[in-house]
Amino acid sequence: MPSRWTSRRERFRAVIGGAQCVHPASVHDPISGRIAHDLGFEVGMFAGSTASLTVLGAPDLITLTLSEFAEQAHRIMRAADLSLMCDADHGYGNALSVMRTVEELEAAGVSGLSIEDTDLPQPYGLGEKQRMLSLEEGVGKMKAALAGRRDPDLVIAGRTSAPAIAGMDEAIRRAKAYAAVGVDAIFLVGIKSRAEVDAVAAANIGKPIILGGTPPELADKAYLSSKGVRIALQGHQQFAAAVQGIYATLKALRDGTKPADLKGIASADLMRQLTRADDYDRWGKDFLGG
């Protein structure tokens, strides 16, 4: 029997199985999810970094817990009819923890999630350097993610930061290994040039490609589409914009600006749209005798 999330997952699979590259909307809470839906974004992206900022007010240091991440994902899914891709980081532990991560995020309603092969959280003594898991452990995590999935429509992406940490030869080796296990897509972080995208395309990995961040050189969606890239992240500027808006508004009020003179305030009509106020008005009349 189809679940309440089936249509969203089917739409997401249509995106990664299609012929065009899309930019997802970075979302972090119910309202941002609804904005993305109302503006017509094909996919939402809920990252570990924005989750940590939203829930903890902390940088992306993997101090967020699985339950906190899954709960926030579920809040987004309850509020917005959006296909949501999640960055599930390292799966919050070893391969057995990865299985639990997949179970929790599947239950939360996400359409896809990625598991990465970076050694997280940051090990002792490395400073700001990053270290990768062995290929064997990375493969084990991908197998565990697939084993933890119950809904075959849920997309599992194998994510690697090898382009940034170990170079393109290692990135392609890992991408091929994860593809051979059976993940649905390959998520590459650290790709910086067309030459690197061309190298991935020439390697014939056989899976849709997700790019984690696209510098100006890679802003051409037609080019990315031709190279098998189906999702290209653009960053999380919307969160920084929201922070700036809140900061500026509170500072203006603190400095004596009158509420009526504030700039950049959402209109009453937009607030009613995003809170679905018309629905609540109707329910009030139907159920509360109003």
Q: What are the distances in angstroms from CA 170 to CA 114, 120, 179, 227?
A: 19, 19, 14, 19
210 closest CA partner among 181, 179, 238:
179
Q: What is the structure's pLDDT at 129?
A: 84
pLDDT at 189 over 90: yes
The pLDDT-based confidence of 2 (bands split at 50, 70, 90) is: low
Mean pLDDT of 19-43: 98
Give residue 4's pLDDT.
87
pLDDT of residue 287: 96
Residue 68 in domain: yes
Quickly state the pLDDT bin for 40 (edges 50, 70, 90).
very high
- In this prediction, residue 128 carries a pLDDT of 77
In a domain, 173, yes or no: yes
Say if 72 falls within a structural domain.
yes
pLDDT of amino acid 5? 95
pLDDT at 84: 98
Within-domain flag for 269 = no
Amino acid (one-letter) located at 88: A
Q: Is 213 or 175 the better-scoring residue by pLDDT?
A: 175
Model confidence pLDDT, tens digit, residues 106-124: 999 999 999 999 999 888 8
Q: How confident is the model at residue 1 (pLDDT cuts 50, 70, 90)?
A: low
Based on the structure, what is the number of domains in the chain? 1
* Percent of the chain with pLDDT strictly greater than 90: 92
CB neighbour list of residue 290: distance below 8 Å, 6 or more residues apart: 284
Residue 225: domain span: 6-119+137-241
pLDDT score of 125: 85
CA atoms within 13 A on the CB side of 125: 0
DSSP state letter for 24: P
Average per-residue pLDDT for the chain = 96
237-254 tens-digit pLDDT: 999 999 999 999 999 999
Residues 82 and 123: beta-carbon distance below 8 Å: no
Residue 248 lies in a domain: no
Domain of 232: which CATH number? 3.20.20.60
Residue 198 has pLDDT above 70, yes or no: yes
In a domain, 132, yes or no: no
Residue written as tokens 């490395």?
126
The answer to the question of residue 70 being in a domain is yes
